[in-house]
Amino acid sequence: MTAAVELDSVGFRYPGGSAGVHDVSLAIAPGELVACMGPSGCGKTTLLRLVAGFLAPETGSVRLGGSDVTSTPARERACGVVFQSYALFPTMRVWENVAYPLRVRGIDEVERRKRANAMVERVGLSALAERLPRQLSGGQQQRVALARALVFEPRALLLDEPLSALDAGTRVALRDEIRALQRDQRIATLLITHDQDEALSLGDRVAVMHGGRLVQVDTPTAIYDRPADAFVASFVGRANLFEATVAGPETLDTPFGRLVTRTLGHRHGARLTVLLRPEGVAVNGTAAAGAPFDANVFDVEVVRDAFHGATRRLVVRPAGRNTTLEMQTAYRGPVRRVRIAPEALHPLPGDDAASEARSGVSSASLPVRPSLPKEMP
């Protein structure tokens, strides 16, 4: 399968510092949405600008539909771009804003109005086609920006924090609409976002960046359940990360005592960093069938209890221990005893990952090479 968007060993550094992207390789299939997230300053937006042609890479190449566009100006790359700021023309009506990309491409007025109105209808704004941007809500303005980015049938759709200025309810509704439009158009899409829920719910794959490098590119489920290292584990979602020592084929010695788990073939005495998501800690659980009664079950003291509507987020301290665990549950009653599910414990690489979990620095030093999913839905 030919990638719709491909970056091969791309590097770019801003003048006077080390900020930028370093040896980044990524491929996006036709019809695929890749959501890119990471800490502020990690290089997410720089990556998008390199694809769009707003920046020129110092090393590596950029291809669209198999064609090398590394030296091609942005206006000739035919990418649809939607920014956080709507960037609408204030004196143009809705349909005129949407039609503008067709106008600059020399499409005659009758045809561009026909295509613009069709796209305005696709985003549900036909009744507002004659309004000016100031007469629209934020969500409506972002729909206009999206319609404008799609009306000329771009080679790729690039979304840079497009929903971050909207209220929560509008954001959720509009992201579902964006996903439906993107799937219907079968257009390769790169979404830059700080919103992890947005990335995990929208992306066919998620790319996690840190320090200008791609640390992991995988499905949302794999990113969350099988992070590549301690940085990804701690950055994506909420996580308990702690050091442990392999005590046997299926046991670990941890700050909470000996726990039954999978050690995935690690040698006896090996030091590991273990990931435990808060939802992997169950309230008042009982041991698994065939396990000792007290396997992974212990009394706790509640240190902090925060109510979030459908769930509670608690910090608990196991009896007789100086360390704490974060847990999440829908249970409303008192929490005095918990169980850690063996399958919820995920060993990560050992000493290096443990030290990086404390420092917030990723161990990934090699680029993620281009890869495409075997088949897009």
Q: What is the tens place of the pLDDT at every residue in 268-320?
A: 999 999 999 999 999 976 655 555 556 799 899 999 999 999 999 999 999 98
The three-state secondary structure class of 27 is strand
* 173-182, 334-343, 350-359: which is most confident: 334-343
Q: Which phi and psi angles does 162 have, rounded to 5°?
A: -70, -20
Q: How confident is the model at residue 348 (pLDDT cuts 50, 70, 90)?
A: confident
Q: What are the residues facing 260 on neighbouring strands?
A: 251
Q: Cα–Cα distance between 13 and 276 in angstroms, integer?
A: 36
Predicted structure pTM score = 0.85
Count how many residues are written for the chain: 377
Q: How confident is the model at residue 369 (pLDDT cuts 50, 70, 90)?
A: very low
pLDDT in tens, 109-125: 999 999 999 999 988 89
Look at residue 372 in the predicted model and tell me its pLDDT: 52
> Which CATH code for domain 5-230?
3.40.50.300
| Distance in angstroms between the alpha carbons of the first and the last residue of the chain | 14
Look at residue 373 in the predicted model and tell me its pLDDT: 52
Of residues 355 and 277, which shows the higher confidence score? 277
Q: Is the pLDDT of residue 262 over 70?
A: yes
For the chain, the average pLDDT equals 87
In this prediction, residues 23-51 reach a mean pLDDT of 95
Q: What are the residues facing 217 on neighbouring strands?
A: 207
Burial pattern 89-116, b for ≥16 Cβ within 10 A else e, equals eeeebbbbbbbbbbeeeebeeeebbebb
Q: How confident is the model at residue 368 (pLDDT cuts 50, 70, 90)?
A: very low
pLDDT in tens, 187-234: 999 999 998 999 999 999 999 999 999 999 999 999 999 999 999 999
Picking from 53-62, 164-173, 201-210, which range would have the lowest pLDDT averaged per residue?
A: 164-173
Q: Cα–Cα distance between 301 and 313 in angstroms, integer?
A: 14
Look at residue 349 in the predicted model and tell me its pLDDT: 59
Outline which parts of the chain fall under CATH 3.40.50.300.
5-230
Q: Cβ-count burial of 213 within 10 angstroms (0-12 exposed, 13-18 middle, 19+ buried)?
A: buried
Q: Is the pLDDT of residue 7 over 50?
A: yes
Look at residue 87 in the predicted model and tell me its pLDDT: 85
Look at residue 110 in the predicted model and tell me its pLDDT: 93
